[in-house]
């Protein structure tokens, strides 16, 4: 099945039970991808958190894909035990994409952090082993300091044109930004705080999907 990147929830720090519950609510609201990220965190704690999230998401919406942030070893361990985990999102300083593909196999979903035309062109060289690129920051964000210049809406169209794989916008994206971003041709929007802090993650995700389709029109 094709991956639905339109509403992509990246989990934030918090009580593991609350994070799993919010992930389940996001999945029930239509989030196509949930990336388990909680920094700083040990590999063992991330393993337990991702397992808990994967179980909650599978019960809420079996179509939602669950990815692990950075830790290929954690993703591999969970996939081998049959958990509802589908792949990994890696950064520029993590294992190279071809090595990740070799470890996780042909069915795994693999994403890579980018955010400049130079990084996207480098990602194109491994596009055969890559499913999508996360691209940002859209605007400055307190959850992650990449050191890259924020792209704003205008920065995405050239990147979409250059990239050989789907582009997901990230970096303090909110539901209010989604329609304008979708109009640039991106495949999806990754959101952290908007969903983590929403009164109803399910309703928030449903709004993101509606706004994405409005932008596409």
Model confidence pLDDT, tens digit, residues 124-179: 999 999 999 999 999 987 666 667 899 999 999 999 999 999 999 999 999 999 99
Per-residue pLDDT, 146: 67
Tell whether the model's pLDDT for residue 64 goes beyond 80.
yes
Per-residue pLDDT, 85: 98
Per-residue pLDDT, 145: 64
- For residue 102, the Cα-to-chain-centroid distance in whole angstroms is 21
Is there a domain that residue 179 lies in? yes
Question: Annotated binding residue at 143?
Answer: yes
Per-residue pLDDT, 201: 98
Question: Annotated binding residue at 176?
Answer: no
Question: Annotated binding residue at 142?
Answer: yes
Question: Annotated binding residue at 161?
Answer: no
Question: Annotated binding residue at 15?
Answer: no
Question: Annotated binding residue at 36?
Answer: yes
Domain boundaries, position 199: 7-87+136-155+166-216
List the single range of 37-41, 76-80, 186-190 with lowest mean pLDDT.
37-41
Question: Annotated binding residue at 141?
Answer: yes
Is there a domain that residue 177 lies in? yes
Q: What CATH number corresponds to the domain at position 14?
A: 3.20.20.70
- What's the whole-model pTM score? 0.96
Band of residue 187 on the pLDDT scale cut at 50, 70, 90 = very high
Is there a domain that residue 74 lies in? yes
Tell whether the model's pLDDT for residue 84 goes beyond 70.
yes
Band of residue 1 on the pLDDT scale cut at 50, 70, 90 = confident
Into how many domains does the chain fold? 1
Is there a domain that residue 149 lies in? yes
Share of the chain above pLDDT 70, in %: 98
Taking residues 10-19, report their average pLDDT.
95
Model confidence pLDDT, tens digit, residues 196-212: 999 999 999 999 999 99
Question: Annotated binding residue at 174?
Answer: no
Question: Annotated binding residue at 39?
Answer: yes
């Amino acid at each position: 099945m094709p991956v639905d990147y339109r509403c992509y929830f990246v989990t934030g720090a918090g009580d593991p039970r609350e994070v799993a519950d919010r992930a389940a609510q996001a999945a029930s609201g239509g989030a196509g991808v949930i990336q388990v990220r909680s920094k700083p965190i040990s590999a063992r704690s991330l393993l337990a958190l991702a397992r808990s999230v994967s179980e909650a998401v599978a019960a809420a919406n079996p179509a939602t894909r669950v990815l692990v942030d950075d830790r290929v070893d954690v993703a591999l361990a969970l996939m081998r035990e049959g958990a509802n985990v589908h792949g990994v999102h890696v950064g520029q300083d993590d294992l190279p994409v071809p090595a990740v593909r070799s470890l996780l196999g042909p069915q795994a979903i693999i994403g890579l952090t980018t955010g400049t035309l130079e990084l996207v062109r480098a990602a194109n060289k491994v596009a055969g082993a890559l499913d999508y690129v996360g691209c940002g920051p859209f605007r400055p964000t307190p959850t992650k300091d990449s050191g890259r210049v924020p792209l704003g809406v205008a920065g995405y169209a050239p990147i979409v044109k250059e990239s050989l794989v789907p582009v997901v916008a990230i970096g303090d994206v909110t539901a209010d930004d989604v329609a304008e971003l979708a109009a640039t041709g991106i495949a999806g929007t990754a959101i952290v705080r908007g969903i983590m802090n929403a009164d109803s993650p399910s309703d928030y995700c449903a709004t993101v999907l509606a706004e994405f389709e409005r932008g596409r029109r």
